[in-house]
Amino acid sequence: MKTDGSRREGNRDEVSPAVIKRLPRYFRYLRELLRNDILRISSGELSKLMHVTASQIRQDLNCFGGFGQQGYGYNVKYLYGKISEILGVTQNYSAVIIGSGNLGRALASSPIFEKRGVKLAALFDVDPDVIGTEISGYTVLSMDTLEKYTSENPVDIAVLTTPKEVVRETAERLSALGVKGIWNFASREIELPGSDVIIENVHMGDSLMTLCYEINRKNGENR
Amino acid sequence: MKTDGSRREGNRDEVSPAVIKRLPRYFRYLRELLRNDILRISSGELSKLMHVTASQIRQDLNCFGGFGQQGYGYNVKYLYGKISEILGVTQNYSAVIIGSGNLGRALASSPIFEKRGVKLAALFDVDPDVIGTEISGYTVLSMDTLEKYTSENPVDIAVLTTPKEVVRETAERLSALGVKGIWNFASREIELPGSDVIIENVHMGDSLMTLCYEINRKNGENR
DNA sequence: TAGATTGTTAATCGATTAACAATC
DNA sequence: TAGATTGTTAATCGATTAACAATC
């Protein structure tokens, strides 16, 4: 396989958002291939599997470097490794969950972080009844100790699952503590003008609504 | 306010996916405006609030009808009502949760369904230890009783939070039972060729990865 | 070598923005 | 009426697809 792909690897400056949003999907499919001991795949085969054009796959991957080989295709393991690097899976980012309600619990108990090389380090809450309890092997810490904690344990990512009323203040607090990114599940979108914390707003409800829209549309439009 | 918007309301046939994916965001912002007793808003004001162009707002809304009034703007309540209709909020769809693990529980306890006019009707699981327990006022039912249940209670939406190994078979089973849409949280994407069940695959991990990508990119690219 | 498949350019398609006439 | 703001067309921009020469 080609090893000089690194030539083009530097110019990550201007990869389009559309491409970036597709990368995690490649990551998932490549992992699945790897699990099934498939060592090599062509853009054509991957195209059939993922229901996107082969052209798009080649175009997307080439934004980051020449990962394939003419006449051969792509080495699945190598490509998976490259995409993992690009997506920061190899960075071992640390995360804390702010808000240990049902969603916080569900996230803490899921393999979602581990699968992506993110290390869940702690859970926080404000409720005295919740603080001190154990969730998935973590003892829930008090929000009062957040500053102390982060000064001793650098936190890259904060996962926000608090009520929306405290989203803004919590986000500002986290920003001041040097957190690099906020994964926000609260239904209030975070705006931190001037800050360079990366914000990822998740809206699970939006996805339910597009589903309802499609159902609605298929089942006889207006009535 | 204009009442003849209905003229154009019929041609929902070909609204672009980009527009549809933005509708839930309008829905959220309009509800917030309504909660703050703001009765009227222009595309320019909404533009500042939502950080999108006024042009896009007018373009988007006009796919469904003339909801505004020249020289006035949009009546928030009226517009909210219209968008709710378009998104099926007024349809009172019924939903069941398949898989009563941590995520199923979290969803059942959240206002996510209620806020969008979806009626959560039941939870199911296969684990004898979970069946019969109570979650957020619902007694978890056995998957063995799914066929019986759906024959007595028509289900519009199934929320899938099962392990990925059983996603395919469960999806096929649900499809056979006449479910209209599947909201799939399992990390295996559903494919039901030939079926006309609407599938909405949710990948929370993808969102975490794009966050990691951005953090990675900002904090000094390759190393 | 011949065959296969990439990397990459050019063509097409779709989505966003700008502009302004229509109109409340 | 004059001012404001929509609805809508035209222009721009970006993303996808097709095509094929480069190359393993």
What pLDDT is attached to residue A8? 36
Nearest chain B Cα distance for residue A148, angstroms:
23
Say how many domains are in chain B. 2
pLDDT tens, chain A, 223 aa long: 333 333 333 334 589 999 999 999 999 999 999 999 999 999 999 999 999 999 999 999 999 999 999 999 999 999 999 999 999 999 999 999 999 999 999 999 999 999 999 999 999 999 999 999 999 999 999 999 999 999 999 999 999 999 999 999 999 999 999 999 999 999 999 999 999 999 999 999 999 999 999 999 998 754 3
Is the predicted pLDDT of residue B221 greater than 70, yes or no?
A: no
Determine the nucleotide nearest to B72 by Cα–C1' distance.
Answer: D5
Cβ–Cβ contacts within 10 Å for residue B215, how many? 20
Q: Which residue has the higher pLDDT, A73 or B10?
A: A73
Mean pLDDT of the B180-208 span = 96
Say yes or no: B125 and B201 in one domain: yes
> Given pLDDT bands bounded at 50, 70 and 90, which one contains residue B13?
low
Q: Is B67 helix (H, G, I), strand (E, B) or coil?
A: coil
- Measured between its terminal Cα atoms, the distance across chain A in Å is 58
Say yes or no: A101 and A202 in one domain: yes
> Given pLDDT bands bounded at 50, 70 and 90, which one contains residue B76?
very high
Beta bridge partners of A95: A120, A157
Say yes or no: B169 and B103 in one domain: yes
Say yes or no: A81 and A97 in one domain: no
Say yes or no: A99 and A174 in one domain: yes
Is the predicted pLDDT of residue B52 greater than 80, yes or no?
A: yes
What pLDDT is attached to residue A158? 98
Say yes or no: B79 and B97 in one domain: no
Residue A186: domain span: 92-206
Contacts of A109 in chain B (CB under 8 A): 102
- CB pairs below 8 Å between A and B: how many? 178
Say yes or no: B201 and B119 in one domain: yes
Say yes or no: B81 and B124 in one domain: no
Say yes or no: B181 and B118 in one domain: yes
**Chain C bases having any atom below 7 Å from a protein CB:** 2-9, 14-19, 22-24
Residue A63 sits in a domain whose CATH number is 1.10.10.10
pLDDT digits (tens, 9 = 90+) for B128-178: 999 999 999 999 999 999 999 999 999 999 999 999 999 999 999 999 999
Q: Which residue has the higher pLDDT, A97 or B187?
A: A97
Q: Is the Cβ pair A21, B210 closer than 8 Å?
A: yes
Residue B73 in any domain: the answer is yes
CB A215 within 8 A of CB B93: yes
Site from B86, B202, B211 to mutate, A interface, most A CB atoms within 10 angstroms: B211
What pLDDT is attached to residue A14? 82
DSSP A182-219: EEE-SSSPP--TT---EEEE--HHHHHHHHHHHHHHHT
- pTM for the whole structure: 0.92
